[in-house]
Structure 1
Amino acid sequence: MNSIKSYLRNVYIIFLSAVSALFFLGGCATQKEKTEIPLLKEKPVASEEPQKAMTTYTIMKGDTLWRISKNYGVSVESIVAANQIKDIRDLKIGQKITIPSNNVSYTYSNPTVSAMPSQNRVVSSKGFIWPVKGDIVSHFNQTRNGKKFMGISIQPHSRQEIVAAKKGTVEAVSGSDNNFYVVVIKHDGEVRTLYGVHCIPIVSEGNYIEQGQTIATFDPLTKESSTKEIHFKIYVKDKPVNPVSYLP
């Protein structure tokens, strides 16, 4: 009888030892898993860091630098400088450009800032906003160089971009050798706005433009204040009207 009890006691001790060993090993495996999980999560974060420096983008149909800059949160000037773009109208479908990081500065010697959204601008009763904020230095129907000027000339305040006075479609972008461009936007109701200025256009013919959207930046090589004047005209049914009566 004593031998049977002794045998059962030994079996019970062996069973408890085996259970304790399994529990201990199981606890170690669980602990090992916990230490490995953070390591697995850290690897992707480290691999993503270099990708923030710059991105390559392929130009698609209808693209403008303005839209690309807004999508990536990078200024137009940074994209132009990073890619050494001389004529923004020469963007071609399939062309690859570099999008710099918004933490990396690619600017000219006299950089401009992004134009304010149209909702932050005053809109006139006729639905127009100023293409830039500044002072009128030449008035409608005023004689200039022996001819009557059928628009107004605006001397802009510093650090601005030229924006669309009203939404519409770019009808024409024409330029000369001295970087003086004229951008024509067609609006509803047979209305057109013309913007003549020494600048770098960032829109092309056929582009749809929202009110307040940047259509051109000032030529960074232009130093003289007189060459930064914007000649702004409004035509209604192909007849010039005084822009002042349409602006807020």
Structure 2
Amino acid sequence: MIRGPRERFGPAVAVVAVALLLVTVVGAWPPLVAVESGSMEPAVERGDLVVVTAVDRFPWSEPVGSDADDPPTRLDGAGDVVVFTSPVDPRRPILHRVAFRVTAGEDWTDRADPDLLDGADCTDIATCPAPYDGYVTYGDANGEYDQSAGIAPVVHERLIHAKALVAIPHLGHFQLAVDAAVARFGVVPAGVGILVAVSLVSGTGAFLVGRVREGWRTRNDRKGGRRPPR
């Protein structure tokens, strides 16, 4: 049986359509972020897929920290969880929780949780006093602020790309595998390999579905006393 383009590439087209719909709704690209580390465990683990939305998307406003009087609840914790770029390693966006907002020149350790400073004070931290308005952030599992640990400086608002909404367990492993393939083989070879794999998987799925339907039709014909067509 010859499979047409629809049967071969139908699932791939459906995936692209869902991705475009997500971009339209959440206003961020990519709308799904695969988690590479365990810094946000136990709510978010490595290999989870996180749905994100643009920071300025209705009804959101600027990120709200865990120190707010009535902070939003995000991913089993208080305060917004955001995706931002760190100048320390711009190639790897960070998904961490907002602790509080700071203003330029502020000694923000006065408002910090001592347990998350690991004994440091303002003189020990490169971005204290705050060099500009921004946010202090942390990973739930790290036990220390990103700024005191040297993971990132005070996060400027222009470096924040999105807010995290919900985590889907384990579905991020595919994206991590794709990223690894692109890093190793390049965009074009990895893209060709992915298209071939999608075609094979979708074609195999269509073939199996067709066989199941044919089997059910044959069985029903036999029950009705009719001979199956040759």
| TM > 0.5 | no
Larger Rg: 1
- Band the TM-score falls in, shorter-chain normalisation: under 0.3
TM-score, normalization by structure 1: 0.23
Which structure is richer in relative contact order (CA contacts within 8 A, separation 6 or more)?
A: 2
| Higher normalized helix content (fraction of residues) | 2
From the two aligned structures, give the one with the greater strand fraction: 1
TM-score, normalization by structure 2 = 0.24
